[in-house]
Amino acid sequence: MTRFEGRVAVVTGAGRGIGRATAARLAREGAAVVLAARGTEETGALAEELRAGGATALAVAADVVDEAAVAALMEHAVAELGRLDVLVTCAAAGPASGPTTELTLEQWRTVLDVDLTGAFLACREAGRHMLAGGYGRIVNLTSFHVRATYPERSAYVAAKAGVGGLTQALAVEWGGRGVTVNSIAPGPIRTDRTAWFLANDPTAQSGMLGRTPTGRIAETEEVAALAAYLACEEAGHVTGQTVVIDGGWTANAWWGTHPWQAPLPSR
């Protein structure tokens, strides 16, 4: 498919995980992509790989909590590639796990700065260019933790809930000017971190897989496919939404083994 032919996309947190998969997906569908992360080691290698496949790809170092750096990132995209059509915000600090009573203010601020303020700055700066051009697609990454969470994740849940609220607010504010804003709430995703837990922690296996009706966790490419849809021109009437992709995890209230995973007990 070439849904993004002639479009320019910026992806933050593009060095690994969902950000990397999304940037690659957009590039394969014809977008010129700007890969943003704090450093360029991982994004530089990905940019080379994408260019070898015929795509236009730039790797740019930008810390999403640095206001000037985020503004410069968007300016660079426009200066080098002529426009800015798509933003996908994937940069994240990760959860500060532990009892809330022991959570330090520094830990709290780090998570909110990267996950929430970083998304705000990227949306604001990209939005300025999109609104000037009368077209834009913004996709923010939030989390299934805003629907159903674990203990000891207060900072992460607060930050991701804020991203969902930001998404709604911007969708309402910018919808009449050609810019849509949506978010994706992934459930457990197969990344380096979850792969380790699944291989080494039986509790994680039962918790992630046992509660998921589909019986598996998602691949990053599946989230990237959803992001690509929300970012494409055809999704112009979808805005202000948070789309959960979790194999039914948050819909499930069953506390034991699913009937299709083991025989039901005799009555």
Q: Does pTM top 0.85 for this prediction?
A: yes
Task: Please say if 229 is a catalytic residue.
Answer: no
pLDDT, average across residues 51-70: 98
pLDDT at residue 95 is higher than 80: no
Query: Which one is catalytic: 135, 150, 156, 229?
Result: 156
pLDDT at residue 144 is higher than 70: yes
Q: Using one digit for the tens of pLDDT, what is the confidence trace for 119-139?
A: 999 999 999 999 999 999 999
Q: Indicate the CATH number for domain 8-251.
A: 3.40.50.720
pLDDT at 263: 42
HSE-up (13 A, CA, CB side) for residue 104: 3
Percentage of the chain beyond pLDDT 70 is 94
